[in-house]
């Protein structure tokens, strides 16, 4: 899970929400994606995850992926076409 950390906003409530979301990300990284040998190893793993997640190449790739997902319309399967599709799979080819 790579997540960018953005500031919450200009008002006090926005700042608190930003801090809460950052704390939630850090808590998830430290409990699920870090070593539990000692505190130094755990903090090193969290720092490395945050460092990797802030890579401009990863951020650009994620933005491109999201754009592509929004541009592609969902595939719609018409119920009548399923029968013809199944028949086409099992139809024997004849040599002419």
Report whether pLDDT(38) > 90: yes
Spatial CB neighbours of 84, under 8 Å, sequence gap ≥ 6: none
What is the rounded average pLDDT of the residues 83-91? 71
Is residue 42 packed enough to be buried (19+ CB in 10 Å), middle (13-18) or exposed (0-12)? Answer: middle
Q: Which of 5-9, 16-20, 71-75, 92-96 has the lowest mean pLDDT?
A: 5-9
What sign results for the dihedral spanned by CA atoms 28, 33, 35, 36? positive
For the full predicted model, state whether its pTM sits above 0.75. Answer: no
Report whether pLDDT(15) > 80: no
Report the pLDDT value the prediction gives residue 19, as an integer from 0 to 100.
86
């Amino acid at each position: 899970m790579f997540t960018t950390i953005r500031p919450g906003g200009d008002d006090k409530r926005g700042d608190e929400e930003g801090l809460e979301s950052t704390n939630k990300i850090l808590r998830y990284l430290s409990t699920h994606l870090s070593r539990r040998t000692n505190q130094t190893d755990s903090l090193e793993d969290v720092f490395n995850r945050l460092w990797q997640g802030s890579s401009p190449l990863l951020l650009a790739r994620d933005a491109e992926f999201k754009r592509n997902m929004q541009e592609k319309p969902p595939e719609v399967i018409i119920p009548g076409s399923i029968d013809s599709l199944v028949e086409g799979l099992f139809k024997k080819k004849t040599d002419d």
